[in-house]
Amino acid sequence: MKILVADDQALWRTCLTDALREWGYEVISAVDGEEAWRRICDDPEIAMLVTDWVMPRLSGPELCRRVRALERPRYLPILLLTSRAEQDALVSALEAGADAFLHKPFQGPELLAQIHVAERILRLEEGLACQIERVTRAMQRIDADLANAAAIQLSLLPKRSPEVPGLRFAWHHEACHRLGGDLFHVFRLDRDRVALYVLDVSGHGTAAALHSVSLSHALSPFPEQGGILVRDGVPLAPREVAGELNRRFPPLEQSGQYLTLLYGILDLRTLCFRYARAGHPGPLRVHAGAASFHVEGGGIPIGVDREAVYRDDELRLEAGDLLLLFTDGVHETMSESSEEFGIDRLREAAGAAARLGAAGAVESLRARLDGFRKQEPQRDDVTLLAVEIDPSLV
């Protein structure tokens, strides 16, 4: 260990240096506080400072203050030598940054004991630094894994809107953590039908994300990929899809999690939207500038009761309508004063934004939520899925 001795008196400086070298320490010396300060700044290997109190140009307590304000890779123990015995003076020196005192003339065993104390502190610091480094490396690996998982989860979301004459789609999805529990999709089942769903797995993080990955496969329109939406070439009714999911996902019940779901099929010939709800908020329809929230039906969330029964409800749409599906993170967005955005604000905002079309409405709603939340952290995942029916569609 390298020790710096700072003392303006050559006799004490020599005595300290000789004693420390005899005990096997590497010693460098400084004739005053300023020289000691320069050496500390220039040499990060200095592991301990033994300094006199009264020195020209820079006193021991002032040197302590400078050292404590300096950013160093390791803590520097400071042992202050003094002939002063006043309690106030010693307290002020401790407050300046000294770790211990030795009275002049110093006793060898006492000096060695204080150095051993400093060495124990440094070993503890080194051990803690090693633990922090191991934890940091582990956290970096976890963060990289989470980034990969987030990329995989993001790949499950639609990349672009399906091309459906007379319909326009838009969406906004924001996870409150790296991994979220919301999932949505829109795709054509066949020539005359478009399927839409929005779901929300309870909780956040890895468990919710893993469930959402499994659910995305189950809610695929391709049976060969494990999808349940089509059987023998015929799309299942929304209530059947909800029931099948409920039977297929007992792990939800085992883990104490559940999911809410709104799955619907839009018939392009009749503009009838048939849907089933499993504990999920109902769809919001904007017609002629007026927004209405549909809460009919709706079974319990999936994963709560394996014998749960679901039902279909219908919503007759017209040309010029805007249909909005969303998760509860939208209307449960909290302001800085802990007030919820609420269904009424969502209804009003959707009605005001409907004239902007699907993309404009989603962007307007996103801006309204951000403006309402301000600096309050997002507490839940937010998903908005909008369907605009062209006013010229007959």
Whether 76 and 178 map to the same domain: the answer is: no
Q: Are the C-beta atoms of 332 and 380 separated by less than 8 Å?
A: yes
Residue 54: pLDDT band by 50, 70, 90 thresholds? confident
Q: What is d(CA 14, CA 9) in angstroms, rounded to the nearest whole number?
A: 9
Average of pLDDT values for 351-378? 92
Query: In this structure, is residue 147 part of a structural domain?
Result: no
pLDDT value for 179: 66
Domain range for 119: 2-128
Whether 68 and 185 map to the same domain: the answer is: no
Domain boundary among 80, 105, 128: 128
User: How many domains, in total, are found in the chain?
Assistant: 2
pLDDT value for 253: 57
Whether 235 and 350 map to the same domain: the answer is: yes
Query: In this structure, is residue 246 part of a structural domain?
Result: yes
Average of pLDDT values for 3-32? 90
Q: Over the stretch 260-318, which tens digit does the pLDDT of each residue have?
A: 999 999 999 999 999 999 999 999 999 988 889 887 667 899 988 888 999 999 999 99
Whether 101 and 237 map to the same domain: the answer is: no
Average of pLDDT values for 107-128? 87
Whether 117 and 182 map to the same domain: the answer is: no
Residue 392: pLDDT band by 50, 70, 90 thresholds? confident
Whether 70 and 181 map to the same domain: the answer is: no
Average of pLDDT values for 327-338? 91
User: Where in the chain does DSSP place strands (E)?
Assistant: 2-6, 26-30, 46-52, 78-82, 100-103, 167-174, 182-188, 193-201, 230-231, 234-235, 259-267, 272-278, 284-287, 290-293, 313-316, 322-326, 382-389
Whether 280 and 222 map to the same domain: the answer is: yes
Whether 124 and 227 map to the same domain: the answer is: no
Average of pLDDT values for 238-266? 84
Residues of the chain with pLDDT > 70, as a percent, come to 91
Higher pLDDT, 143 or 46: 46
pLDDT value for 250: 65
Query: In this structure, is residue 209 part of a structural domain?
Result: yes
Average of pLDDT values for 6-20? 88
Provide φ and ψ at 335, rounded to 5°: -85, 175
Whether 111 and 181 map to the same domain: the answer is: no
**CATH number where 337 lies:** 3.60.40.10
Query: In this structure, is residue 105 part of a structural domain?
Result: yes
- Type of residue numbered 164: V
Whether 199 and 261 map to the same domain: the answer is: yes
Query: In this structure, is residue 145 part of a structural domain?
Result: no
pLDDT value for 237: 95
* Mean pLDDT rounded to a whole number for the chain: 87
Where are the alpha helices (H) located in 249-356, listed in sequence order? 250-255, 328-331, 342-353
Query: In this structure, is residue 150 part of a structural domain?
Result: no
pLDDT value for 363: 96
Q: What is d(CA 345, CA 172) in angstroms, rounded to the nearest whole number?
A: 18
Whether 273 and 368 map to the same domain: the answer is: yes
pLDDT value for 178: 64
pLDDT value for 139: 86
Mean pLDDT is lowest, of 96-110, 124-138, 189-203, 229-243, for 96-110
Whether 257 and 384 map to the same domain: the answer is: yes
Average of pLDDT values for 54-74? 88
pLDDT value for 117: 87
Query: In this structure, is residue 146 part of a structural domain?
Result: no
**CATH number where 79 lies:** 3.40.50.2300
Strand order in the sheet with 259-267: 182-188, 193-201, 259-267, 272-278, 313-316
pLDDT value for 159: 82
Query: In this structure, is residue 85 part of a structural domain?
Result: yes
Domain boundary among 104, 128, 152: 128
Higher pLDDT, 205 or 352: 352
Q: Over the stretch 187-222, which tens digit does the pLDDT of each residue have?
A: 999 999 999 999 988 866 666 666 777 788 788 877
Domain boundary among 86, 111, 128: 128
pLDDT of 238 > 90? The answer is yes
pLDDT of 105 > 60? The answer is yes
